[in-house]
Chain A
């Protein structure tokens, strides 16, 4: 049996409490993870300063180089994992078997993580807007333009409470280590794989193990561990639903990442050519199984919405679950009992509205909900929504789901609400200006960019540099007379 230890600043710890990580289809136990307790995390976090100290023995450039080396190991090497070993193929197979994401998508996510590690230098350069690394390391320094700037780390170690069902989010915490800040991870109950593999790859690439803590766990224990991480780390990130986002809203120590409500907006000037954008719309909804905050859950236009919905439904409706190792599998399984059924019920309830029509049903051979013995699937669903104020106009589910919403252009920005990724198709300069000014859109794409096509040189849900460091005043000489 593969047994995965707790990692306490690089030291392995075998707990008295263990929990199984199981295959979502067969129920087979694939690994046992050791679970810490909340007090143990609080005890460890008292030593967080050492994690930063040990990382500061290396320059940021050296850590960036080590990340690139780690990327190779992460992607290609057989690495130790607990009391066993793991090949890249094992990694994809295990991740798929416990999260319900098809294997080829796991491979894609693996490549994505490796890409970010390989290109860490460019990413930090972009996110810091070209700030010399020495200024971050030293805490202050003179820029080429003769301006003194100072950045102070907000924390010695940053905590990350990670999700189980979305292995794509790991790219977000990878820059923490090269920023010389300790990394405290609470992996999701079904997805210890990426955190442990990145940890091992980085350690083998020469990054000190003392910079890492990993506290896997599930259920109530998992919640206790996540709570302890959030309580003890001065800067933490948690992934969850809308309730999680609302719970931590306004808390400067915690950044909560939730649903994205990402959308595609067609301006009045291009909407008559909507067929030209059909691939973009379908791919934005469907790729990566729709299980992401950057997957589109809405297409907004002022006219042709019925035709758009119908065309998307023709493409998406027939898609059915396939075996996880099928390279054409496009749907991820819901591994939590009752989750898919509950979502299906919510959609059915929403369709009772006179403004909502399910368009996919006629192109689907069977029900939306596919129930299996140990998991469920939801087949792609496209709704036509004629009222932008209807609740189904702005809804997100963890599968390929999209509302095609009819809304006058002059009301769109107000009605779309919070939008993590907004892909806006328009050449109308006035509308572009309004979109640029819209503070409810986080990542703005103006042009033919699928919502999932992130450029890693751009910040995501806030700039991690601004979260982990604060710009402050620093003087080591009096200012010029004035």
Chain B
């Protein structure tokens, strides 16, 4: 890879992003196509988005998006007029107590996961094979998204019942034994699916559940590989370099492929840099630009990115037809990573809970 070539690719990616931002702003702030929320918000701004936002950098003129605005209804305010009348999903995040944050979705979860599908190697995620979704069920984007991914690749997705809100309640009450019993109940469901001759070869799993499933299979004299699984993608801040190594060397064995992902209901799905032993298990994510952007910003100035290699807080942007998020402070931090040929824009590594919020967060629900 020459620096020249990468520079050119980065410049082209930046141009694409700027153009995409202009298109997105025009869509979301045009009274004919935008949603009530942003059209009303525009009246409170001291600039005209359609005139003054001409590139990604201009997006920083917006105040930070407050995800508290996502609590409660009516949800119609979030549906762009240009998409009115289309079948609409609502996905929730949080919600253990009080009103959860909601996001309306029409097709974004399909598009995000179809794009993600292109990054999955066919030899490890065979087309036509069936999938197991070992993650949260209920009003979650992930459950339908993984199911769509399976269908998009010609397979059927098997799911488990898993209510993460109940687990959070148990943990907050200190009922760790009950939480363990619930986790065992989830693993029981997964084992039953895997033993029912369903040709399941691909999986999504959270790190904790994958670990529990693999150990259960080992206790029973089997393994993930022997259960027929060839490829797994998993996500979250618990997917650490040490856990990655543990998976490859001990939990899964060398014949089962695993790849990390990072995302949330607002942004979609960031892909991991393809595994390279030279990286020493460092996990680097790249946002699905131009539909979403990840920045690593200074702790004391959320409009300034840190230098490559430096640590900062995760800032997310979403620019799809369905959602406009001009900068949202995620509850994570990490290190800014240089662009690569495959993803010619900056990435992030070492994602972990934001240190200032750590004391108030119940991490590792499922």
What sequence of 0s and 1s flags, for each residue 322-366 of chain B, a beta carbon within 8 Å of any chain A beta carbon? 000000000000000000000000000000010000100001000
Chain A residues within an 8 Å CB radius of B174: 247
Residue of B nearest to A227 (CB): B176
Chain B residues within an 8 Å CB radius of A429: none
Question: In the bound complex, how far is the Cα of B246 from the Cα of A247, in angstroms?
Answer: 30
Contact residues of B between 179 and 230, Cβ < 8 Å to A: 180, 211, 215, 218-219
Contact residues of A between 11 and 69, Cβ < 8 Å to B: 15-17, 35-40, 42-43, 46
Question: In the bound complex, how far is the Cα of B171 from the Cα of A247, in angstroms?
Answer: 12
Residue B242 contacts which of A15, A42, A220, A231 (CB distance < 8 angstroms)? A15
Chain A residues within an 8 Å CB radius of B280: 16
Chain B residues within an 8 Å CB radius of A220: 353, 358, 363
Residue A39 contacts which of B241, B246, B363 (CB distance < 8 angstroms)? B246
Chain B residues within an 8 Å CB radius of A247: 174
Q: Are B180 and A35 in contact, with the CB atoms below 8 A?
A: no
Chain A residues within an 8 Å CB radius of B241: 16-17
Q: Are A39 and B251 in contact, with the CB atoms below 8 A?
A: yes
Residue B240 contacts which of A17, A43, A46, A231 (CB distance < 8 angstroms)? A17
- B250 at the A/B interface (Cβ < 8 Å)? yes
- B304 at the A/B interface (Cβ < 8 Å)? no
Chain B residues within an 8 Å CB radius of A37: 240, 242-243, 246
Chain B residues within an 8 Å CB radius of A40: 246, 250
Chain A residues within an 8 Å CB radius of B60: none
- B110 at the A/B interface (Cβ < 8 Å)? no
What sequence of 0s and 1s flags, for each residue 279-316 of chain B, a beta carbon within 8 Å of any chain A beta carbon? 01100000000000000000000000000000000000
- B245 at the A/B interface (Cβ < 8 Å)? yes
Residue B243 contacts which of A39, A42, A43, A46 (CB distance < 8 angstroms)? A39
Residue of B nearest to A46 (CB): B218
Question: In the bound complex, how far is the Cα of B174 from the Cα of A247, in angstroms?
Answer: 7
Chain A residues within an 8 Å CB radius of B353: 220
Q: Are B242 and A43 in contact, with the CB atoms below 8 A?
A: no
Residue B281 contacts which of A16, A35, A42 (CB distance < 8 angstroms)? A16
Chain B residues within an 8 Å CB radius of A43: 215, 246, 250-251
* Given A39-B251, A40-B250, also A16-B245 (CB < 8 A): yes
Question: In the bound complex, how far is the Cα of B251 from the Cα of A46, in angstroms?
Answer: 13
Residue of B nearest to A44 (CB): B250
Question: In the bound complex, how far is the Cα of B243 from the Cα of A36, in angstroms?
Answer: 9
Q: Are A16 and B180 in contact, with the CB atoms below 8 A?
A: no
Chain A residues within an 8 Å CB radius of B250: 40, 43
Question: In the bound complex, how far is the Cα of B363 from the Cα of A16, in angstroms?
Answer: 21
What sequence of 0s and 1s flags, for each residue 228-269 of chain B, a beta carbon within 8 Å of any chain A beta carbon? 000000000000111111100011000000000000000000
What sequence of 0s and 1s flags, for each residue 303-346 of chain A, a beta carbon within 8 Å of any chain B beta carbon? 00000000000000000000000000000000000000000000
Report the minimum CB–CB distance from B342 to chain A (whole Å). Answer: 23
Q: Are A16 and B215 in contact, with the CB atoms below 8 A?
A: no
Chain A residues within an 8 Å CB radius of B363: 220
Question: In the bound complex, how far is the Cα of B281 from the Cα of A73, in angstroms?
Answer: 39
Residue B215 contacts which of A15, A35, A36, A39 (CB distance < 8 angstroms)? A39
**Nearest 7 interchain pairs by C-beta:** A16-B241, A16-B242, A17-B242, A39-B211, A37-B242, A16-B281, A37-B243
Pairs across A and B, CB under 8 Å, 23 listed: A16-B240, A16-B241, A16-B245, A17-B240, A17-B242, A36-B242, A37-B240, A37-B242, A37-B243, A37-B246, A38-B211, A39-B251, A40-B246, A40-B250, A42-B211, A43-B246, A43-B250, A46-B215, A46-B219, A220-B353, A220-B358, A220-B363, A247-B174
- 17 other contacts beyond A17-B242, A36-B242, with CB at 8 A cut-off? A15-B242, A16-B240, A16-B241, A16-B242, A16-B244, A16-B245, A16-B281, A17-B241, A35-B242, A37-B243, A39-B215, A42-B211, A43-B215, A43-B246, A43-B250, A43-B251, A46-B218
